[in-house]
Amino acid sequence: MCSEEAYQALILWNEFLENSYQFDNWIFKPDTGALISGEKETSLEPKVARLLEYLILNQNRVITREELIEKVWENRIVSSDPINRCISIIRQTLNPEDKSAYIETVPKKGYLSHFTVVSADELKTGFTITRTNLAVVSVVILLVFVFTFQWVKDPSPDYTTPSIAVLPFSDLSETKSNQFLAQGMSDTVIDMLSRVKGLDVTARTSSFAIANQNLTVSQIASQLGIEHMLEGSIQVNGNDIRVLTRLINANTQKEIWSQSFDRQLQNVFSVQDDIAAAVVAALKGTILPSNYNNYEPSFEVYELVLKGRVEMNKMTSTGLETAQDLFRQAIRLDSQYPLPHILLAKVLKAQFDTDSYTHDYQTERKLQFLDEVEHLLDTALKLDPNSGEARNLNASMLIAKGKTQQAGIELERAIELEPNNADAIGQYATWLQFQNRLDEAVIQARKAASLDPTSSKIQQILAQNLWISGRSEEAISIIEADIVNNPTSAKNNGLLARWSLQLGRPGKAMLYAIKEKELDPNNPDRIWGVCLIHYQLWDRAKAQQCTQALLAKFPNYYEAKKWSFQFGEKPNIEDGIDFIYKQIELFPRVVYFRLQAAHWLVFENRPEEALTLLEPNFPELFANEPTVTDWSLWAVDLISQAWTQLSEDEKATTLLKAGLAHIAKTRKLQGGGFSSGIEDVRFHILLGEHSQAMAKLKMAIDNHWSMYSMWFHKHPVFEPFVQDPQFLSLVEQHKAFMQSQRQWYQRQLKNDAALSVD
């Protein structure tokens, strides 16, 4: 090659290596966050990059969390949750198979990092330009440019995007009877600011929750991850209202802007507009977007809506009923005001979601709820087509109808209209997850969590997306942290119960399930969770006792009734199939019921019926080149068995191999969906590959596989193994493990008298 090319390449290479670190096959540039290894390129967010650099510079000694809070986070955080997240990201990026390869956790002390770093001078000295590495240098430099440009173009919200939390306004009136008006004004300002692109606005859930904790400005800023706060107060005197507002820089604790507004009550809407406009002008130098509906109802109607919103936000059954009445009154007085239509739809959906936990599935009541919600949203969107909240709710209705792609379009439109709507972003993350777009789902879930950091619902969405992506350590740490912040959240314990099962710790799963039930004792879902883990622990007697007690209290609880047909004192599969068919008639779009019915039909050697049930919901599995996801693995199992029973061996083989390819490519642990965790074992048996099946079954049992393991040895698929000494030995090994786990959790219960398995 010409010497000029070599010379220019060498200059570029040397410039690139400035302020870089190389360890093993990685090159890391902390100033841009670029982390490159061969064809793998990653752009670390700024805080993760700073932490990695600090760990490199301070390796081979224990680094305490307190030191990291001081040196990397500059004392801007008060908990170790952000540290856990960043450490997990670094470990997952550098070596997902061996999380302690570069960073060890030293219990109760901190972290110990190990990096074999080659200095930039050594790299420069030992580098000779050839045609091959000239191309490599060019690609590497191009990648770094792209990463640097992206970092500037799409910066982390912690650094350049203005961020704000609107705290609940206080009522300074003598009677303190206008708190609903103060809170409603805060809500409205949040709604208006949430429509501003390029401004991160903390969700109401988090800003209102943290306001009651008597924290300093800097502590609030640290916990919410924001740079600015808006606080205010109102004072009502007859028909007059005075509103005082103050915008504060949370870093310096200095006032940026303050203003007093004097209006008559009927003109309160203009105050909210003025406050939001002033905040946007101060933080962004722009004006409010024009897509906010400026309809002004009478103050009487507005008062009803504000009082209803306060009751709705309590999220209690009484509060939801009261809110429903108030919103209906508002609609009767002014049917052209879109907000009460949206909020009433939200209340009805929340009431239905709560009632659905009982699994009573009252058909008429459900249809009435859904029909009215649909009508309310249609009306709201005609009155205000730019309502992101209405479109978010409408997306959830579309999902319930099975119109998945339309739901995605509606969610994207909702987020475009309200880029700070944490609920919409969280629901979009869940939608992406079901589309198997896992990386995108995690990004959206992180965005939602940054906007609403104290919401258990949002933290759970983030954790579930991380879990399904195979990042179990980070998922568990998020839920454990949320339990500290929200100790009354039953669902957190439910998630840890399921994940403990999937990680081969059924005894620990039982403790979490019991805690879940104790936190929500009148919810049959929680009681069923305990019953089900009795089954998982191979304790059929206690499982049946638990199920009977549940049905005595909730006689229409679906899961318990269905399991009783199969595993009760007098099993009756035929009646059980009829029972599930009735559920399918009532709820034809619920895929879960179809999978359950197909499972029993295959067990009863009725393959045609099973295939007829499943094909409408899983057309991709019936294609010549089937597409498999974690969510469809149960269907792959059932369809393959049905085709085998029909001697459609070629179809079965194609689908089974697609299932094995998916598992080999994506699954490090059970990702999610309706699957047991040993589908690959069953697939190998169906393919006649018995040695591979036995090897994988042994590996699963050695690793304490627990999900639905209680009757695997009695399933017809395992019939080729029933006389095999190795198989029989594995069954006995698993029985002994389950017995040890039952004994373990019972000892733990004796040490914690607050928990009860009954």
What is the percentage of the chain residues whose pLDDT exceeds 70?
83
User: Going by DSSP bridges, is the β-strand pair 163-166/200-201 parallel, antiparallel, or unpaired?
Assistant: parallel
Tokens 């006995």 found at: 732
Reported as a single tens digit per residue, the pLDDT across 203-245 is 888 888 887 777 888 888 888 888 888 888 888 888 888 888 8
**Angle of the 338-356 helix axis to the 388-400 helix axis, nearest 10:** 40
Q: Determine contact, residues 706/509, Cβ cutoff 8 Å.
A: yes
Mean pLDDT value of segment 660-673: 64
| CATH tag, 3-153 | 1.10.10.10
Domain 572-672 bears CATH identifier 3.30.1360: no
Of 579, 618, 603, 596, give the one whose Cα is nearest residue 717.
603
| Structural tokens at position 296 | 């002004």
Neighbours of 76 (CB within 10 A): 15
Q: What is the model's pLDDT at position 76?
A: 58
* Residue 24: strand, helix, or coil: coil
- Cα 351 from Cα 317, distance rounded (Å): 8
Q: Where in the chain is the domain with CATH 3.40.50.10070?
A: 163-292
Contact between residue 345 and residue 323 where contact means Cβ atoms under 8 Å apart: no
Please give the Cα distance from 366 to 360 (Å, whole number). Answer: 10
Round to whole Å and give the CA distance between 16 and 712.
57
Q: CA 475 to CA 491: how far, in whole Å?
A: 14
Check whether 677 has a pLDDT greater than 90. Answer: no
Using the predicted structure, report yes or no on whether residue 459 has a pLDDT greater than 90.
Answer: yes
Beta strands in 440-595 (DSSP E): none
CA–CA dist 632, 617 (Å, integer): 10
Structure tokens at 250: 């949370």
Angle subtended by helix axes 404-417 and 422-434, to nearest 10: 150
pLDDT at 309: 86
pLDDT tier at 143, thresholds 50, 70, 90: very low
**Which residues, including other chains, have CB under 8 Å from residue 351's CB and lie 6 or more apart?**
317, 320, 321, 324, 369
Residues in the chain: 758
| 502-513 confidence digits (pLDDT tens) | 888 999 999 999
Would the pTM count as exceeding 0.85? no
What single letter denotes the amino acid at residue 410?
Answer: E
Task: Say how far apart CA 341 and CA 282 lie, in whole Å.
Answer: 33
User: Across residues 440-445, what is the average pLDDT?
Assistant: 91
What value does the mean pLDDT take over residues 41-56?
Answer: 81
Could you tell me where in the chain the CATH 1.10.10.10 domains are found? Answer: 3-153
Name the CATH topology of 163-292.
Rossmann fold (3.40.50)
Q: State the span(s) of the chain assigned CATH 1.25.40.
A: 572-672
CA angle 604, 606, 610 (to 5 degrees): 110
In whole angstroms, give the CA distance from residue 610 to residue 601: 6
pLDDT above 90 covers what percent of the chain?
32
Least confident of 213-217, 281-285, 372-376, 422-426: 281-285
